[in-house]
Structure 1
Amino acid sequence: MSAPGAHVAAAGTMPDFVVVDVETACQRVSSICQIGIVGFKDGAEIFEYETFVDPLDDFSSFNTRIHGITCDHVAGKPSFAVLHATIDGHLSGRVTVAHSYFDKGALGAACHLHGRAPIETRWLDSVRVAKRAWPELQSHRLNVLTKFLGIRHRHHDALSDARAAGMVILRAIEHTGIDLAGWLAPATSRGAAVPKPASIGPLKGERIALLGAPRDGALACSLAAAGARIMAAVGTTTTMLVIGDDQPFGRYVTAHEDHRRAEDMRRRGVPIAITTEADIRARIALPIAS
């Protein structure tokens, strides 16, 4: 377990987002006994903060079996009331990521219990992000995601959990092409349900971004039915960019961000195809859209 109170900060640097994780001593969510916070900017970690907390509560054997923290670890450590100003300084006014809203609830309960003001921050649930980025996974628990993504992780250590959840956000941004603002936007503005890929078909294994065609439209449904996974935008794992027949960009299509990104990937030797709706329909024997 990392040393309590470890703190490295980049002075004057405002993170794009921070990530928080807490461990609790017992079934009461207010019984925070460890807090980990990690800040990220421009895709890199810029600070970390971790401390044990005296929960002023009992430790249950069930919780201790999960995270390994006992009353001995928190003996002489500050209470949440003492630490509130530090935690608020890291989170308040920023985008705060947590893997599920358990941590949000725990911090809120601890603020109420100790008579401290609620922490005003904008929350982003990395579980919801992961479910949309990797819908094929059966579970989106943090330990499952880190194994899938190859992220080093010590489960149920607050600092390691916070760092891992932050890496999940960065990988989701890279994987889907949706930036932080896009993940924060209301679900309705991010588009309707995307069709799931068929388990078999001539496009199985292809990860296709569409330019000038909706992700829930007829073309997307046809490609998904042929086994393709429909991507939100051109990202590092995209294998094909399909330009819709009705795309609105005319001869300026090559100026679109997705097209430029795909061309740049090709120049770097990344195997991504750029094709048209008509060509892909011909390739998999789909009828031409009327």
Structure 2
Amino acid sequence: MRMEKMMIGLYLALSVTVLGQKSPAKNTNLTPYSYQTFNCDNKGYFDASKYEKEEIDGVNKLLYKFNGVHFDTNPIFKLSSLEDVRNNKDLHLENLERQYQEKKKELYSLKVIDLPVWKKLYENAIQTFENEYELNKEEIIAFSDPSSLKNSKFYSTCRESIDAISSPDKDKMFASWKAYTELKSKNNADPQGVMNRFNTKLNDPQKEDYALIDMIGLSFHNCANSSFRQKPEEEATAYKDFDKIFMKLKKNCDMP
């Protein structure tokens, strides 16, 4: 009987020792990870038995580097900018292509966490990147040759704008330009001011150029751009899901 009690006591002691060792072993898998968000410095701890740092780096880049505008291009809002993109079209296309190849190499080599939510985010990021490149390329060419938009990748989505821009009937483009400006003016604090500026351009000898600036750079661009961008609510969810990767997370945020 005494021997049985000793054996039971020894068994319990060993059990406590083993159980006591599990917690430290688990904690050793927690690896620190620091990252910056829009106005916060973040330090989290992830389970190294579940994730690799390279995978988290990849997701981090998808969310905070490859989510947004990828290419540094000159927006066309003035006649001087329009003249520049026409006179130096090949240079603008070469600059775009150089950026595309550099960024593509980094984006396509990312390693992300092997879970559906992050694999889908990666696929969407690649599609957005490719679409943005195509949109910028089409716009550069269209400022010199508006009819080129008939072959646009976004024609089915932005048919109305493209048909007006590429039409040989300039009155059709001017009518579409006016309709677009009227619609835009309703969301402006000074709608009459918007229309006054429009009428000034409409009566200018270079009204066709002014129309192309607005119709390609705003009407067509906004239509095409919105067709492939991630919805704001989906972005918010992705940011929250990223934070959930970390078992512990401390945020140090600046006041906006």
**Under a length normalisation based on structure 2, what TM-score does the superposition of the two structures give?**
0.23
- Rg: which structure is higher? 2
| Bigger RCO of structures 1 and 2 (CA < 8 A, at least 6 apart) | 2
